[in-house]
Each structure stands twice: as structure tokens, then as C-alpha cells.
Amino acid sequence: MNLAQEMQRGLKQRAQGRVRGRYAPSPTGDLHLGNIRAALYAWLHSRCLEGDCILRIEDLDQGRCKDGYEEQMLQDLQWLGFTFDEGVEEGGEFGPYRQSERITLYEQALELLKSQQRVYPCYCTRREMQARASRSASGEYVYDGRCKRLSAEELAELARTRRPAWRFCVDHGEVTIQDGFKGELVQDVSREVGDFVVRRRDGIFSYQLAVVVDDICMGVTDIVRGEDLYESSPRQVLLYRAFGTTAPRFWHIPLVLNQEGHKLSKRDRAHGVRGWVDEHGSHDQGRFFGAIVEAMGWQCGESLTLENIYQHACVSGMCDTWREAKGRLENK
């Protein structure tokens, strides 16, 4: 695979104007209510805007992606009635659709950033970095850029005993994004995050780099995902700029929380598809969707199908709202 060719192909597709969304889960456990709601929002968004929805598997961290989880995840999505226009089972011209099969593209992307002098090797351990780092207003550690200031001799000495991570060199200044759900976010990434990792010391590429490369190459126009990723969006905007393009439209949705007010975990079967099936049986997809829709604040029945939900989105004005918001985002 050739990065330049794949990016050019994806950007050509994006320029055609047809909406291309994606649902991109990680096979690290059973799907829970929050995962399915994110899938539902992404699927509905593409359908309402008469576009395509891609299913991409984000399985870069093989240490967390266990055998059998992807197969179970695909079965659960099929059980619920989800259909995708492209994906690991559907195929498509912008595949492969597993990140573990796209490593060569991320390697080429890193080499491109190296040639632009936009990244540098960092030999700091997590403990060393946190000992020196300041904290942002959000509580995140802000890297102090130590390795960027080291001499060639000092770097060579560290390289004898340590493998480096690679950090993206962040310029000073604010980054502004317009989000279809949450509105405007203004962030000075240099102050709030600092130079961020695009490849870890263990060789695994970061989420930030991989999703940007994938979304460019797949011609993605709209990103619908959980609001836990809202604050990381400006980092991705900087990477889009480094690759010579603009970011897709962002739509960050509220998370589903448990009774303690915490984000749901895939380790909690009580809130997962498997736990639901164990308790209610494999025939009761409708009530499962009913529970999701109730959590969204909709009142449209206790037993639902995807088609019922889509029709509700049409008649309730949700599709019109998305079309209007899309127009506003395009004009900013």
C-alpha cells in the first residue's frame, strides 16, 4: 500500500460531497449500551444524510484485543440488525478495514512526518515525564519537550539502552474546532497537552495518528463518536494539517453512564449485549434497542427495530436537524 496514493484517493472521494461516516469499535471486550448507542448514532447519521457508513475495526493494541472479541462483536451487531456499506465483512474499495492490516500506512505516515521534521524521538519513561510535567486545567500531564532539546550526542547515548517513542511537535497557538453536537472548542494544544505521542515505545502507533490516516484514506467526511474523545480532536486537527488537508466534521455524543456516574466498561456484562442476551434471551433485540432509545430521551416504544428508530428520526425532525447542522459546519 502506498500512503500518497491512498490519501489522494480518499481525498478525491471526500471531494465528491457524499457523506461517509464510520463506526470504529475496538475488540477489547463485549459491546455495552454505550458502544451500541455510538453505533446507532453513527448509522443514523449516515442514513439521515443519505450517505455511507463504514465499519472499521481498531485493533492496533493487540495486547488488549483478545481472541474471539471481534467475532462476537460482529455477531452482536448483526443480531441487532446493523448493516454497513463497507467493512471487514462487507469489503469495499477503501480497505482493508482492520487497523492491524494497515500498519504499512502508519509507518509511511511516520516517515513522512520525520521528513518534515514534525516529529522527534522521545526517550523519557512515563515516570520521568510525569515527574517533570505540569498539569493542564483538565488534569492531563503536559510534556515539557525535554528530548526535543537534547544534543545529537545525548540522544545517541540514550538510544544505546532505550527504545524511543515518537512525538509530534506542536506549534504554539490555539486550534478551533466546530462540533455538530457540542459546539465550538478552542484549545492551545501546546499548553494543554504539549508534544504528543504518535508512536509508543513498544512500537504501537497511537490512536491519534492511526485514525487520522485511516479517515483521510477512507474518504471519511463525518466522525460521530463519544464525547470522551472531544478534547483530543484538536490534536487530530494538527495531524490533518500536517498531512495537507482539513479535518472531517466532528459530532461528539454524550456518554452512557452507570449508576455511579462513571463511563461504562466492557468488563461490566450487566450493561453489555452478552449480559442482556443471557438475561432476556437472543430473541429480544427490540427491548434492547428500547433501552438504548430511552437512554437517548426518546419516547417511541419499548420494542424497536433499526427501521423503527430511523423512521422516528425522520418524523421527529432529527434528520432535518442534522442536515441543518451539517450546513452550518460547512459554512464555518
Active site residues: 266
Residue/partner pairs of 143-148 with CB below 8 Å, 24 or more apart: 143/167, 143/193, 143/194, 143/195, 143/196, 144/194, 145/194, 145/195, 146/122, 147/120, 147/121, 147/122, 147/123, 148/120, 148/195
* Residues in the chain, overall count: 332
Q: Which residue has 418524523 as its cell numbers?
A: 315
Q: CB count, 10 Å around CB of 96?
A: 15
First vs last C-alpha separation in the chain: 34
Q: CB count, 10 Å around CB of 160?
A: 6
CA distance 95 to 214: 9
| Cβ neighbours for 218, distance < 8 A, ≥ 6 positions apart | 10, 13, 20, 22, 54, 56, 86, 94
Q: CB count, 10 Å around CB of 65?
A: 19
Dihedrals phi, psi of 81, to nearest 5 degrees: 95, 10
Roughly what angle, to the nearest 10 degrees, separates helices 273-280 and 285-295?
A: 130
